[in-house]
Amino acid sequence: MMATRSTTRRLARAMTLTFALLAAGPVLVLALGSTSARGDWRNATHRPVGLAPDAAAHRDAVIQVYAARTYGWRGAFAVHTWLAAKPRGADGYTRYEVIGWYARAGRSPVSVSDYRAPDAEWYGAAPELLRDLRGAEADVVIEKLDAAVRSYPHAHEYTAWPGPNSNTFVAHLAREIPELKLALPPNAIGKDYLPNNAIVARSPSGTGYQVSFGGLFGITAGGEEGFELNVLGLVTGVDIKSPALKLPGVGRIPAAAASTAPIDLP
């Protein structure tokens, strides 16, 4: 009995320490004021930040993937991701993303629209450019994009945590279009929520594999993702190829530059 109680106490201490370490990142993000935790969302800005080439001047095809902090206190934990596409010769961009409140209004949360700039702030949060493809590489992705959107199995579902959400959608596009070669940041909560109740899948970048139980617990290992451990949707890990730590809420340290070079798929 004494041994059992001692083991239970050790397990409880270990779990408490684990959760404290996982929560440290989001707490730090809030303390540093890195998220729009206050204010009225109706007054939040959606200004373009100059990361997307002018469609009128750049006639080649463009594919860009962005991430920006979600609005309010959730931004301490997660980012919202989306994809912007401009076909060759087009005069503007189309944004592909999942927007949660559309589902609350009885609509599909999947949004394919051109009314917001490709690089617009997300409710006051400046976006980070994750992937930037031009010319022939972008052409290949655009050819497959509509089919990938239509094949998304959660077109009428949305759950902020652990998914399916905006990051689940972008991860699905990446898996369906390996030429996109996209590794999502560790604070893209929902990227590990696998469609159709799958437990094993290719990682979004196509350079590895992941095991995930409902997006709550799992492991990812890949050439682009490095090694990631998911506990309750909070991801910690290490990137070997481009050396960096991955911390819950915080993201990568140091942050990654936008990926533009081709990645060799296995």
Tell me the CA end-to-end span of the chain in Å, nearest whole number: 52
**Confidence band (pLDDT; 50, 70, 90) for 266?**
very low
Taking a C-beta distance cutoff of 8 angstroms, is the pair 212, 103 a contact?
Answer: no
Is the pLDDT assigned to residue 75 strictly greater than 90? no
User: What is each CA distance from 86 to 8, 51, 126, 248, in whole angstroms?
Assistant: 57, 14, 21, 32
Element (H, E) at 176: helix 166-176
Could you report the per-residue pLDDT of 2-34, keeping only the tens digit for each? 556 666 666 566 555 555 566 655 655 565 655
pLDDT at 43: 86
pLDDT at 41: 75
pLDDT at 202: 96
Q: Which residue has the higher pLDDT, 49 or 259?
A: 49
Taking a C-beta distance cutoff of 8 angstroms, is the pair 185, 130 a contact?
Answer: yes
Q: Which residue has the higher pLDDT, 258 or 225?
A: 225
pLDDT at 193: 98
pLDDT at 112: 98
Is the pLDDT assigned to residue 251 strictly greater than 50? yes
Say what the pTM is.
0.88
Taking a C-beta distance cutoff of 8 angstroms, is the pair 125, 68 a contact?
Answer: yes
**Which of 62, 61, 60 has the alpha carbon at shortest distance from 258?**
62
pLDDT at 150: 98
pLDDT at 85: 98
pLDDT at 196: 87
Q: How far apart are CA 82 and CA 122, in angstroms?
A: 10
pLDDT at 124: 92
Is the pLDDT assigned to residue 264 strictly greater than 90? no
Q: How far apart are CA 92 and CA 155, in angstroms?
A: 25
Is the pLDDT assigned to residue 104 strictly greater than 90? no
Number of residues that this document lists for the chain:
266
Quote the mean pLDDT of the chain.
88
Tokens of residue 159, six digits: 């759950």
**Confidence band (pLDDT; 50, 70, 90) for 255?**
confident
**Position 138: which residue type?**
A
User: What is each CA distance from 155 to 38, 108, 137, 164, in whole angstroms?
Assistant: 31, 6, 27, 9
pLDDT at 42: 80
Q: How far apart are CA 80 and CA 69, in angstroms?
A: 6
pLDDT at 40: 75
Could you report the per-residue pLDDT of 180-235, keeping only the tens digit for each? 999 999 999 999 999 888 999 999 999 999 999 999 999 999 999 999 999 999 99
pLDDT at 261: 42
Widest CA span in the chain: 75
**Which of 94, 65, 261 has the alpha carbon at shortest distance from 172?**
65
